[in-house]
């Protein structure tokens, strides 16, 4: 009897101990940090490494940022993000997304609106250009990380002032080529891909036209659009740009410019940091300005910014927003600008006259200038389609002798059909 | 009856990995499922199919894909027979040459496509450098819609010829040598022995490689995606690339599934046609032999 009781007591003891210990383990679990997982393209993952390390040290035991390093190429990052979202249960809390993905992702219902999290004064602290491209249907879905604008790089050792108008750019390029100062005049992105749409947006606006009007009317058959396309073709036929420009993306253009073989280049701010490296043969000989435009027309810079969005399925939205705040704080922006040339998004940084920033052979004024005239590409969930249609037709204008007006009409009609299918979404 | 039961597990497996996706694609193709419908599938009663039939870009891509497939498979087969014959000879270092010759096939496609992109690069790539010795004009291979597709065929041939060579080499080794000796005794020359012995006996291997390569080349995606992105002027875009664009970039899964299902029908037709053609040639051959 006693033995039986003892055995029962032991059983009860074991049960009590195990209940207690699970509770204990659970309390231990509470102390393990919340993990905020961010997907970034590889270059951004590398440049934010220090910031993330500091954050994780300061918040040890509470919050931990985990960066997932995506591919280098922009669109491959989107493929990865979309695949994970389609399968459901995406492991990410935050995505670092490109300006053109936002309407698509928001329409697919993948992103959390940030309106309730963002403080009014924080929003007001953004530079004008940085405010663009973060909203869809009047809700904010993205907080800008770094602004990116199309810039015209020019060689200070070959000319005193950069060209202002399209005609000047061709004339100077031809002259420099003829007296053998450079092999090529102007290099840009002419490959059939997104870069070509970015180039065209700047040119069509520079001629006073528009891709889409404010009420989303397609304007690719306007006189200005025709002039813009004509000018792009003329760049090649006049010899101002090499014919091989029609297969250039950003890197090919930079390669030629960096080797000192070209007088002008259209590229993003990242090129500046590359051109400042020791191995660059034209270090210190480069100036930066905005894209050329017709007289009395304001030049335009295509906006290509990156920003953080919180996924709808994230379980730590407020914490995620805190992490975003940290990664886009003033100090973080300064550090990223100094080390990697990332364009700051906070207006105050441009006004501060911070000696450290100005002394670093910087182009802060030029960036601020470009950001003030930055223009986002059409903001619709069907942007990828309409850009694809335009790229195809532009590429045929540049590589075949298809009549320009015919190609533009095709692009115009197809864009109209696509936008109509969306029913003004 | 018992045989049918024994192959049942294999049939089920084939259905899961092959039949189910095809049925699913067909189902998706009669639904609208895109960013506009919030990615939920709603029936649209064949609207995708009407769109496909009227989509000139799709038909251009189809023509381009057929052109790419025909050129690369034909040239590959001829080249592979030549290489296999050479590798079947007895010479010193044959083992080394045989293993080296498989290298292009062993490389991941994206890596070799990046390599070719560099080789075709203007103005710094090696081909342009060689051309610049003889002429001041550059040829801009990847910028010219008339020749860019040839560059893609070229890269594809470089990569996949070793694969067919391997199959044909295996076939050559199954042909008994005494056949050739007997033929020689009957005073037949080497060229005739190739047409009368080698080629007929290689037929099963040729059929396998042709059908295999037809299917593979028809679905070409990665090579084009890395080398040209479908440009210039859309001249190198394949059906596979167009289906990918619709699904992953445009988030239009209904239409993408329509493209894929249609190309599945097209490819099946292609393979049946190739099979019939080869059979016919074989019959003719055998009649001649008799």
B120-139 pLDDT tens trace: 988 888 988 888 888 877 78
Sign of the CA dihedral running A412, A414, A419, A423? positive
CB contact under 8 A, B234 and A396: yes
pLDDT score of A50: 93
Minimal Cβ distance to B143: which of A108, A243, A255: A243
Which range among A213-217, B214-218, B245-249 shows the weakest confidence by mean pLDDT?
Answer: A213-217
* C-alpha span between A211 and A202 (Å, rounded): 10
Inform me whether the C-beta atom of residue A84 falls under 8 Å from chain B C-beta atoms. Answer: no
* C-alpha span between A98 and B75 (Å, rounded): 43
Residues A148, A303 contacting (CB under 8 angstroms): yes
CB contact under 8 A, A244 and B145: no
Mutation target to probe the B interface, by most B beta carbons within 10 A, among A395, A397, A419, A423 is: A395
pLDDT score of B189: 83
In Å, how far is B11's CA from the nearest CA of chain A?
Answer: 27
Helix or strand run (H / E) with residue A252: helix A250-258
Residue recorded with tokens 């270090």: A283
CB contact under 8 A, A192 and B231: yes
What residue ranges do the domains of chain B occupy?
Answer: 57-289
pLDDT score of A425: 45
pLDDT score of B290: 56
CB contact under 8 A, A104 and B231: no
- Would you call the peptide bond into A161 cis, given omega within 30 degrees of 0 as the criterion? no
Taking residues B240-250, report their average pLDDT.
94
Give the residue among A153, A161, A164 at the shortest CA–CA distance from A268.
A153
Q: Which residues contact A328 (CB under 8 A, 6 or more apart)?
A: A143, A144, A145, A308, A345
* C-alpha span between A271 and A280 (Å, rounded): 11
A243 chain-B contacts, CB cut-off 8 A: 122, 138, 140, 143
Residues B157, B213 contacting (CB under 8 angstroms): no
Look at B281 and A293; give whichever has higher pLDDT: A293
Q: Give me the total of CB pairs closer than 8 Å, taking one residue from chain A and one from chain B.
A: 100
Per-chain mean pLDDT for chain B: 90
Rounded to the nearest 5 degrees, what angle is found at the Cα of B131, between the Cα atoms of B129 and B134? 120
Minimal Cβ distance to A242: which of B123, B142, B145: B123
pLDDT score of A301: 95
pLDDT score of B165: 95
- Which domains does chain A possess? 33-148+304-358 (3.40.190.10), 151-302+380-422 (3.40.190.10)
Minimal Cβ distance to B140: which of A75, A191, A243: A243
pLDDT score of A26: 54
Q: How many CB atoms lie within 10 A of CB A302?
A: 26
* C-alpha span between B216 and A92 (Å, rounded): 35
Scanning every residue of chain A, which has its alpha carbon at the shortest distance from the alpha carbon of B124? A256
Inform me whether the C-beta atom of residue A107 falls under 8 Å from chain B C-beta atoms. Answer: yes
Inform me whether the C-beta atom of residue B229 falls under 8 Å from chain A C-beta atoms. Answer: yes
pLDDT score of A30: 54
* C-alpha span between A253 and A241 (Å, rounded): 11
* C-alpha span between B290 and B274 (Å, rounded): 24
Tokens standing for residue A86? 């389609």
**Strand blocks (E) in A54-202:** 63-69, 94-98, 135-136, 139-140, 143-146, 151-155, 184-187
> Mind listing the pLDDT tens digit of every residue in chain A (425 residues)?
555 677 777 777 776 776 666 555 555 555 678 999 999 999 999 999 999 999 999 998 889 999 999 998 888 899 999 999 988 888 999 999 999 999 999 999 999 999 999 999 999 999 988 999 999 999 999 999 999 999 999 999 999 999 999 999 999 999 999 999 999 999 999 999 999 999 999 999 999 999 999 888 999 999 999 999 999 999 999 999 999 999 999 999 999 999 999 999 999 998 998 898 888 889 889 999 999 999 999 999 999 999 999 999 999 999 999 999 999 999 999 999 888 889 999 988 888 777 777 666 578 888 889 999 999 999 999 999 999 999 999 999 999 999 999 999 999 999 999 888 776 44
* C-alpha span between A415 and A13 (Å, rounded): 75
A232 chain-B contacts, CB cut-off 8 A: none
B57-289: which CATH number, 3.40.50.1820, 3.30.460.10, 1.10.3720.10, 3.30.365.10? 1.10.3720.10
- Would you call the peptide bond into B123 cis, given omega within 30 degrees of 0 as the criterion? yes
Tokens standing for residue B236? 């190198």
Q: Is A216 left (phi over 0), alpha (psi -120 to 50) or beta?
A: left
**Alpha helices (H) along A34-158:** 42-47, 49-58, 74-86, 102-107, 120-124, 128-131
Band of residue B80 on the pLDDT scale cut at 50, 70, 90: very high
pLDDT score of A131: 92
* C-alpha span between B272 and A158 (Å, rounded): 64
Query: Biggest alpha carbon distance in chain A?
Result: 113
Q: Which residues contact A346 (CB under 8 A, 6 or more apart)?
A: A125, A126, A127, A130, A330, A333
Inform me whether the C-beta atom of residue B193 falls under 8 Å from chain A C-beta atoms. Answer: no
């Amino acid at each position: 009897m006693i033995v039986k009781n003892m055995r029962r007591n032991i059983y009860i003891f074991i049960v009590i101990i195990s209940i207690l210990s699970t509770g204990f383990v659970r309390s231990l679990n509470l102390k393990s940090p919340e993990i905020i997982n961010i997907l970034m393209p590889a270059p951004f993952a590398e440049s934010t490494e220090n910031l993330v390390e500091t954050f994780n040290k300061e918040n040890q035991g509470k919050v931990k940022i985990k960066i997932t390093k995506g591919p280098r190429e922009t669109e491959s990052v989107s493929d990865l993000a979309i695949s994970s979202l389609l399968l459901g249960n995406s492991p990410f809390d935050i995505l670092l997304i490109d300006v053109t993905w936002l309407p698509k992702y928001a329409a697919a219902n993948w992103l959390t609106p940030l309106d309730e999290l963002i403080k009014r004064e924080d929003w007001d602290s953004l530079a004008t250009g940085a405010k663009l491209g973060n909203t869809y249907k009047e809700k904010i879905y993205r907080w800008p990380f770094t602004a990116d604008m199309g810039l015209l790089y020019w060689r200070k050792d070959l000319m005193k002032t950069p060209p202002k108008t399209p005609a000047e750019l061709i004339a100077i390029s031809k002259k420099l080529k003829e007296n053998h100062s450079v092999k090529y005049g102007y290099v840009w992105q002419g490959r059939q891909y997104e870069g070509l749409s970015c180039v065209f947006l700047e040119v069509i606006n520079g001629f006073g036209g528009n891709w889409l009007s404010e009420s989303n009317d397609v304007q690719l058959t306007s006189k200005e659009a025709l002039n813009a396309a004509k000018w792009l073709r003329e760049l090649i036929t006049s010899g101002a740009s090499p014919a091989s420009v029609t297969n250039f993306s950003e890197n090919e253009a930079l390669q030629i410019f960096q080797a000192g073989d070209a007088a002008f280049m259209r590229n993003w701010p990242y090129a500046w940091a590359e051109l400042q490296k020791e191995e660059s043969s034209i270090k210190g000989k480069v100036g930066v300005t905005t894209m050329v435009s017709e007289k009395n027309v304001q030049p335009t810079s295509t906006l290509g910014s990156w920003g953080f969005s919180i996924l709808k399925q994230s379980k730590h939205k407020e914490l995620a927003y805190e992490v975003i705040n940290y990664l886009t704080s003033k100090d973080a922006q300064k550090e990223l600008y100094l080390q990697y040339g990332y364009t700051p998004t906070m207006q105050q940084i441009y006004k501060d006259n911070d000696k450290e920033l100005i002394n670093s052979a910087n182009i802060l004024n030029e960036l601020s200038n470009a950001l003030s005239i930055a223009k986002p590409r059409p903001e619709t969930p069907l942007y990828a389609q309409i850009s694809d249609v335009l790229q195809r037709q532009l590429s045929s204008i540049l590589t075949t002798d298809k009549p320009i007006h015919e190609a533009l009409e095709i692009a115009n009609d197809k864009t109209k059909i696509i936008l109509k299918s969306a029913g003004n979404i | 009856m018992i045989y049918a039961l024994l192959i049942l597990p294999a049939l089920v497996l084939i259905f899961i990995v092959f039949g189910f996706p095809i049925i699913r694609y067909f189902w998706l193709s009669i639904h609208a499922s895109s960013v506009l419908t919030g990615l939920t599938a709603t029936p649209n009663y064949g609207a995708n199919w009407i769109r496909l039939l009227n989509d000139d870009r799709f038909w251009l891509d189809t023509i381009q894909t057929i052109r790419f497939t025909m050129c690369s498979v034909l040239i590959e087969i001829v080249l592979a027979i030549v290489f296999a014959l050479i590798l079947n000879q007895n010479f010193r270092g044959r083992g080394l040459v045989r293993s080296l010759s498989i290298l292009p096939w062993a490389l991941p496609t994206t890596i070799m496509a990046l390599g070719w992109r560099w080789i075709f690069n203007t103005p710094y790539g090696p081909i342009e450098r060689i051309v610049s010795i003889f002429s001041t004009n550059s040829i801009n291979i990847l910028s010219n819609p008339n020749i860019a597709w040839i560059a893609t065929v070229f890269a594809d041939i470089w990569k996949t010829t070793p694969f067919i060579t391997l199959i044909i080499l295996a076939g050559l080794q199954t042909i008994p040598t005494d056949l050739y000796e007997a033929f020689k005794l009957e005073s037949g020359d080497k060229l005739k022995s190739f047409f009368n012995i080698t080629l007929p006996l290689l037929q099963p291997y040729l059929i396998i490689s042709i059908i295999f390569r037809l299917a593979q080349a028809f679905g070409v995606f990665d090579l084009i995606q890395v080398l040209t992105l479908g440009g210039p002027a859309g001249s190198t875009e394949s059906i596979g690339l167009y289906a990918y664009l619709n699904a992953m970039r445009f988030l239009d899964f209904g239409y993408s599934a329509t493209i894929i299902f249609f190309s599945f029908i097209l490819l099946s037709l292609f393979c049946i046609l190739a099979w019939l053609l080869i059979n016919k040639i074989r019959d003719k051959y055998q009649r001649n032999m008799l």
